[in-house]
Amino acid sequence: MNTDIRNLEPKVVWNKFADLNAVPRPSKKEEKVIEFMMDFGQHLGLETIKDDVGNVIIKKPATPGMEDRKMIVMQSHLDMVHQKNADTNFDFDTQGIDMYIDGDWVKAKETTLGADNGLGVATIMAILESNTIEHPAIEALFTIDEETGMTGAMGLKGDVLKGDILLNLDTEEDDEIGVGCAGGIDVTATRTYKEEDTPEGKKGYTITIKGLQGGHSGMQIHEGLGNSNKILNRLLFEGFENFGLRISEIDGGGLRNAIPRESFANVVIDAVHEEAFKFEMKQLSNIISTELKTMEPNLEIVILETEPLKKVMELGVQEGLTKALYAAHNGVYRMSADIPDLVETSNNVARVLVKDGQITILCLTRSSVESSKMDLANKLRATFELIGCEVEFSGSYPGWTPNMESSILKVMRELYVELNNEEPHVAACHAGLECGILGQNYPDMEMISFGPNIKGAHSPDERAQISSVKKYWKFVLEILKNIPKK
């Protein structure tokens, strides 16, 4: 790890972030980081609790003179998205993140950085450890598994927290004050198929899609980024239609909340079509690259001859699969009619796995309107059920309804203008924040979300802006001093 990061300002935040990033913490494997946070709180002599699902709560009394202020909950999630390029040798279960400085940005070497939401965690740690920062009574809430199910927030009981105001430190634009977010639901389609012996006289090929940016499947779904699963299927569909292409295996995408960057397929075609197949696929690859050149200048579509695999999908199921993947909605489904420029509803075709007689397709559908969320989920269900898939809905979580009259919003808006001589962007976002879930058990708690500039979250291009962290930290300190009285 680049030790220069520990010398960045504010040092108290960057040092805590470096400490945190030395601890492996992929979603659903947070045991090590839970132990790390428990040790941290207990070492400070603060009341430190681990609840039934693994969330960590650390309580710190108000500093002298701040006892009459409302109690606040400072909240961030412990887990991080674990994404790397296919050719990167890195084990998220055992290794800490290898960081470096690039101009005004902190990045990781070919993996996600974990600034989402590690910088929020580090901020809270710095405040808990400080003997000089003014603040009201604090309940620090560190949730687990935000990225792959929000099970930490869902499992938090309604009698654990006593705070009046929740500060969620999980927004990724430093001029934004978040007051609402989208809910989501996982859509999983599965079915079995018969494998057939690969016919004689076939030529084998691997088709590889790589070089895409990827990114956050909520915050960046409107940007026109390429989806490797949809690109790959376009090639498979055309190859089948024109040359009788047969599929042996598909392995595309990864996590539901990450726009897929890489997809691979092993296929066969009749040897007699070899030259025509290469020509047509090259033409189609050029067309796709031209379509996406503005947003995806590094897209690579690589088609290489290889030894045919011994098995292929049964023909009827393959035809249905390629058509269903073509029809499955990906990207923005509906823009909000009430909030300008806000994506209301979207879907990410995140993962496609075809191997050993089993098809698995993973999607994440998001919406700030519950009925619209279920409308799109049902559209996907109908698409996949038409080809004989079983479709399961799971992990549903609610959105967060904006409260434009909250006292903390007024305070933060005024402070932002005072510090920066401009108005903040008060907005709802298309990401899934935990505020909506926490609000179910704490309906009277005022909630707000903010944070520093983080770009490329959920991808190996994730980066945190150094100058923005300085701006954000100054904002945090002023907010703590100006929490309303009880």
Tokens at 96, concatenated: 């800490």
**Which one, of 22, 81, 26, 434, lies nearest residue 257 by Cα?**
81
Spatial contact of 361 and 189, defined as CB atoms under 8 Å apart: yes
Q: Which residues of 94-112 are buried (b: 16+ CB within 10 A; e: fewer)?
A: eebbebeeeeebbbbeebb
Q: Which residue has the tokens 């710095």?
A: 126
Question: Could you give phi then psi for residue 299, rounded to 5 degrees?
Answer: -60, 135
Tell me the C-alpha distance between 67 and 4, whole Å: 38
Total Cβ atoms within 10 A of residue 388: 16
Q: Which residue has the tokens 């687990």?
A: 144
Tell me the C-alpha distance between 273 and 242, whole Å: 9
Tokens at 379, concatenated: 């559209």
- Tell which phi-psi region holds residue 448, choosing left (phi > 0), alpha (psi between -120 and 50) or beta: beta
Q: Which helix (H) or strand (E) holds 219?
A: none
Spatial contact of 352 and 171, defined as CB atoms under 8 Å apart: no
Total Cβ atoms within 10 A of residue 242: 15
Question: Could you give phi then psi for residue 37, rounded to 5 degrees?
Answer: -70, -35
Catalytic-role residue among 30, 116, 146, 170: 146
- Tell me, yes or no, if 79 is annotated catalytic: yes
- Tell which phi-psi region holds residue 313, choosing left (phi > 0), alpha (psi between -120 and 50) or beta: beta
- Tell me, yes or no, if 104 is annotated catalytic: no
**Which one, of 224, 187, 257, 225, lies nearest residue 430 by Cα?**
257
Tell me the C-alpha distance between 212 and 237, whole Å: 20
In what side-by-side order are the strands of the sheet with 56-60?
47-50, 56-60, 138-143, 72-77, 165-168, 446-449, 176-181, 425-429
What pairing do the DSSP bridges indicate for beta strands 331-335 and 343-355?
antiparallel
Cα Rg, the chain, nearest whole Å: 24
Q: Which residues are catalytic?
A: 79, 146
